[in-house]
Amino acid sequence: MPEREITYAEAVREAMCEEMRLDRDVYFMGEDIGVHCGAFGISAGMLEEFGPDRVIDTPISEAAFVGAGIGSAITGMRPIVELMFSDFMAVCYDQIINQAAKTRYMFGGQAKVPMVIRTPSGGGTGAAAQHSQSLEQMYCHVPGLKVVVPSTPYDAKGLLKSAVRDDNCVIFLEQKLLYCTKGVVPEEGYTIPLGSADVKREGKDLSIITYGRTVQMSLAVAGRLAAEGRSVEVLDLRTLSPLDTDAIIGSVKKTKKAVIVHEAVKFGGFGGEIAATIAGSDAFYCLEAPIKRVGALYSPIPFNPLLERTVLPGEDRIEAAVREIL
> All domains of the chain, ordered by start, with CATH?
3-186 (3.40.50.970), 198-325 (3.40.50.920)
Structure confidence at residue 84 as a pLDDT band (50, 70, 90): very high
Query: Mean pLDDT across the chain, nearest whole number?
Result: 96
Angle at 12 between CA 11 and CA 15, to 5 degrees: 85
- Pairing label, strands 206-210, 239-241: unpaired
Residue 250 φ/ψ, nearest 5 degrees: -65, -40
Q: Which of 36, 131, 141, 262 is catalytic?
A: 131
CA of residue 15 relative to chain centroid, distance: 15
Tell me which H or E stretch contains 221.
helix 214-226
Separation between Cα atoms, residue 147 and residue 242, nearest integer Å: 7
- pLDDT tens-digit readout, 213-260: 999 999 999 999 999 999 999 999 999 999 999 999 999 999 999 999
Range of lowest pLDDT (3-7, 202-206, 304-308): 3-7
Strand order in the sheet with 239-241: 55-57, 26-30, 78-82, 116-121, 169-175, 145-148, 239-241
**Cβ(15)–Cβ(188) below 8 Å:** no
Structure confidence at residue 1 as a pLDDT band (50, 70, 90): low
- pLDDT tens-digit readout, 29-56: 999 999 899 989 999 999 999 999 999 9
Separation between Cα atoms, residue 8 and residue 179, nearest integer Å: 5
36 annotated active-site: no
- pLDDT tens-digit readout, 124-155: 999 999 999 999 999 999 999 999 999 999 99
Structure confidence at residue 2 as a pLDDT band (50, 70, 90): low
Provide the β-strand partners of residue 116.
Answer: 80, 170
Instruction: Return the percentage of the chain with pLDDT > 70, whole number.
Output: 99
Work out the average pLDDT over 180-189: 94
Q: What pLDDT is recorded for position 3?
A: 73
Residue 55 φ/ψ, nearest 5 degrees: -125, 95
CA of residue 153 relative to chain centroid, distance: 12
Separation between Cα atoms, residue 29 and residue 42, nearest integer Å: 12
In SS3 terms, 266-301 reads as CCCCCHHHHHHHHHCCHHHHHCCCCCEEEEECCCCC
